[in-house]
Amino acid sequence: MKSNLKSAIYGGFGFVFPIAISLFTTPYIVHKLTPEIYGIYVLATSLIGLMFFMDLGFGQGIIKFVSHYEAQKDYEKINKIVETSLVIYVVMGVTGAVIIYFSSNFIADKIFKLHFDKLVIGSLAFKIVAFGFFMSFISSLFSSIPKGLQKYDIAVKIQNFVWFMSILTSVLLLYLGKGLIEILISYSIFQFIGIFLYMGMSKKLLPTLRFRLRFDKSIFKEIFGFSIFVSLNVISANIVTRLDKMIVSYFLGTSAVSFYTIPYNLASMCSTLVGSTNQFLFPAISNLNSKGEKNKVRYYYIRSLDYTGLMSTFIMLIFIIFSDRFIYIWLGRNFAENSYHLSPILGFAFFFSCLTSVSLWYYTAMNKTHINLISSLTGSVSYLLASLLFIPIFGLKGAAFSFLFILVPFPFYNLYICKIIGIKVREYVTTILPYTSLVFLSLIYVLSIDERSLEKDLLVSIVLLISTFFYKKELFFELINKVITESKKYLTK
């Protein structure tokens, strides 16, 4: 296998950088746009993500089959995969863009129920998002090629460059007195630039690569047979990651979307940072599984679960205990008073999302994507029903509580993969139980103590973090040494 550690480290770096920049830029963007307009911005970008179900799962299919045929040195087959996928992406991208563009008025008025004085700017924002969706959609196709070649570092560098330039331009536009519309236009432009960057680097990695619109029916069947369940899984996952903001907007207004999005995005960033380090498992385990190396498959599962548990415990403990103070310092009293009580619950739910990322890539690598679908659908439907019930009654607290319902399939989902690869349930439970217990204790502390102080928060967090450290101190030192080594290599390039 090709440098799994390097792929894991780069996967993590791919999210550390955007998070760091967001910490500095988000307060300014929210302040300049106002919470209500920022809520429209969140809804517009969420609309892009929601329409990504039209990908049909081909993104992961490209990664899988490019990796598979690159190992066999069958470069002509890779060309056919890219050409056929490009036809699908262009057709579906245009279809999605047209749907967004011509339904923008309806979305602004009937779906998001924007205030009458915000209908014009909201409708125009969604029209512009139609073009941004198409560019982003095509860009995602070409970003899959270096990932399939296990060159995650290249994909991360391009992704971070495009994102950084886009956010920097947004800040500059706001400084110059521009607004939401100009920001969305610049977003579309940088997605367009990203397409050519991915194409150029893919061509450099694979000189024989061709970018033509040619449809091969047999290739389509091969990829579609794998990707159909991935596609359906993406649709159900989008219910959780996109529709929650829309439901909040429907019942509570666009300002509430901003107050909910801030703690949600912070918790999601923490989770994604940990989960991104496991992306390498997809091509790596697929490779090992095809060779029948079952012992290594089992070894990497427990090892990855341990690493993931350690990282997510440290990060989520700090998030759950200190996020309310951070939001107060970061965005001010208004945001803190409206969203501080959401963070601990969201952080607890996202902690389990971190742990589940290991199983997700194992199921995908072992062609068990239908299990991902069943789990995602179960969690999404549970969440959707809970949100429709609790948000009208309890407001934003109801939204956060409803998010816990995505954990409904968690026990079955994670224990079933253990059965598939031959790991005892006891081994799995004893691996995650200490981590889960410590995070749960942090949640109980935050929710049960009425009068907290900085001294109490520091004391509790130190005790819990030290407990985590002593439980897995050897693993901790091993992880730190590896991160430092790879970081030095990354910074010296």
Is the pLDDT at 469 greater than 80? The verdict is no
Top pLDDT among 162 and 244 is at 162
Give CA separation, 435 vs 8, 201, 412, in Å: 21, 40, 19
pLDDT at residue 447, as a whole number:
87
**Is this prediction's pTM over 0.85?**
no
CA proximity to 169, closest of 155, 185, 154, 158? 185
Is the pLDDT at 103 greater than 80? The verdict is yes
Across the range 302-315, mean pLDDT stands at 89
pLDDT at residue 1, as a whole number:
43
**Strand ranges (E), 272-315:** none
- What is the percent of the chain with per-residue pLDDT over 70, rounded to a whole number? 86
- What is the percent of the chain with per-residue pLDDT over 90, rounded to a whole number? 19
Top pLDDT among 57 and 350 is at 350
Is the pLDDT at 261 greater than 50? The verdict is yes
Top pLDDT among 31 and 229 is at 31
> Which range has the worst mean pLDDT, 208-212, 257-261, 277-281?
277-281
pLDDT at residue 2, as a whole number:
44
Is the pLDDT at 3 greater than 70? The verdict is no
Tokens representing 307? 């690493």
User: For residue 384, what pLDDT band results from cuts at 50, 70 and 90?
Assistant: confident
Across the range 479-488, mean pLDDT stands at 60
Q: What is the pLDDT of residues 197-242, one digit of tens each?
A: 999 998 888 888 888 888 888 888 877 777 766 666 666 666 666 6
> Hunting for tokens 């068990």 — which residue is that?
368
Q: How far apart are CA 52 and CA 74, in angstroms?
A: 29
pLDDT at residue 16, as a whole number:
62
Contact (CB, 8 A) for 150 and 2:
yes
The CA radius of gyration of the chain, in Å to the nearest whole number, is 22
CA-CA-CA-CA torsion sign (226, 231, 234, 236):
negative
Average pLDDT of the chain is: 82
Is the pLDDT at 264 greater than 90? The verdict is no
Is the pLDDT at 15 greater than 60? The verdict is no
At residue 350's C-alpha, the angle toward residues 401 and 165, to 5°, is 115
CA 51 to chain centre: 15
- With 0-12 / 13-18 / 19 or more C-beta atoms within 10 angstroms meaning exposed / middle / buried, residue 110 is exposed
Is the pLDDT at 440 greater than 90? The verdict is yes
- With 0-12 / 13-18 / 19 or more C-beta atoms within 10 angstroms meaning exposed / middle / buried, residue 474 is exposed
CA proximity to 237, closest of 385, 416, 45, 383? 383
pLDDT at residue 439, as a whole number:
92
Is the pLDDT at 169 greater than 90? The verdict is yes
